[in-house]
Chains A and B, each alone.
Chain A
């Protein structure tokens, strides 16, 4: 048996948890082995030391009454009567001890100020520390190039994603249906075209006949007509700041320069051909 095993069995023996057969065997060892005896005495002294500190004196019945009143709300008649007496006494007693309220307030304020000051100092130290850290040497041109390449690659990747067909287009039956619809549209358009090609239009201003004597229906379409100009067109173009801006601006340059000029330019067509009735360009006044 190792010393550790002996000590383990010994503590169980002292605690009263060792089986009876083992206890008898250990007692035999204890009779002859001085090491085991010393160990037993040491543990007995330790147990005595640990139990040497008594619990404070308490009135357990009174304590139980208090716990019951708080926990379950059950109060016996005696406690109720005592509470009523106590309430009367408390009502007559001085409500609060005399505290130096100003001093208390001052101390709390000082404690708060000290805390804030400490925080500020720590913040400043942190900022200094962060600023004192050296900036790593960077090849800025290379970094810029790298960033540009990254952005370009990202843009390209997004374009590829945008060009992808919609998810709905990848569904088989939708694709088939859309193709059939497209084919139907083409057939319909071709049929209409052939029909209009074979039918001759009726003369303008003639009402379509109501009978069915071999005449086709005619559609009349009115188009806008060209009006003759009475005089050459003139365009008025304003250049420079608005009148409101000029009025509100305090910039001397606008007052003396741009603002002092006439803001109006009149452009009119210039007749350059021989007849003088067809404009060939714009003239400015």
Chain B
């Protein structure tokens, strides 16, 4: 057994202000304090959004919107110490909304309208799950596996999907996941367990 403890962006030393202190300072008008919160949570926010959307550009857009929303409504946060879970809830809600909107959107194929040799940035699947590998065969395999993982995750109920992404993949603390999902720690364990069982069934040929 290996206890997992992936820190947000960078490890917090003892002298670093807590989330609660930074939130209070921001509410008092210190914008630099919120910059520290951005640095602290940006990796976690991008990662969660990326796991839910499967596209880095969309994930960055959603993360930026989430930070903006958090900044403008920081005064409504009841427990300043729970900033992390609150932010992740905003990130996950915006990501899921973005995903639904993307599903409903019908776009005209415009890539071929570019006049000269403008490169197309879309790979057609709306996903850039890929390993940063120079080996084309390995890259294809990784892309294929990424698509399958994304498909399997998307078939899970929302809470199970979020629990798996945040707890199992991103190794966020269970308490923070519970705050994000607005449920108990025991419920998080249950969502993770149920999600794992379903994923095991869906991905059994790869296990």
Residues of A within 8 A of B (CB): 7-8, 11-17, 23, 42-43, 45-47, 49-58, 60, 63-64, 66-68, 70-74, 97-100, 103-104, 107-108, 111
Contact = CB atoms under 8 A, between A and B. Distances in A.
Given A67-B63, A99-B113, A50 B164 contact: yes
B86 to A, nearest CB: 15
Nearest to A108: B108
Contact of B1 (A13, A49, A52): A13
A53 B144 CA distance: 11
Interface of B: 1-4, 9, 31-32, 34-35, 38-39, 42-43, 46-47, 50, 56, 60, 63-64, 67-68, 71, 108, 110, 113-116, 118, 128-129, 131-132, 142, 145-146, 149, 164, 167-169, 174, 189, 192-193, 196-197, 199-200, 203, 206-207
A168 to B, nearest CB: 55
Given A43-B200, A71-B67, A107-B108, A49 B206 contact: yes
Contacts of A56: 50, 56, 128, 132
A97 B115 contact: yes
Contacts of A14: 1
Contact of A12 (B129, B189, B199): B189
Given A71-B68, A72-B32, 16 more contacts: A14-B1, A15-B168, A46-B196, A46-B207, A50-B149, A50-B169, A53-B129, A55-B50, A56-B56, A67-B63, A70-B67, A97-B115, A97-B116, A98-B116, A99-B115, A107-B108
A17 B115 contact: no
Contacts of A16: 1-4
Contacts of A54: 131-132
Q: From DSSP, what is the main secondary structure of chain B's interface residues?
A: helix
- Shortest beta-carbon contacts, A-B, top 5: A98-B115, A16-B3, A72-B31, A68-B35, A56-B56
Given A23-B1, A60-B9, A17 B46 contact: no
A63 B46 contact: yes
A42 B204 CA distance: 9
A111 B108 contact: yes
A196 to B, nearest CB: 88
A60 B43 contact: yes
A68 B38 contact: yes
Given A13-B1, A42-B207, A51-B169, A8 B193 contact: yes
A7 to B, nearest CB: 7
A72 B34 contact: yes
B1 A67 contact: no
Nearest to A48: B207
Contacts of B203: 46, 49
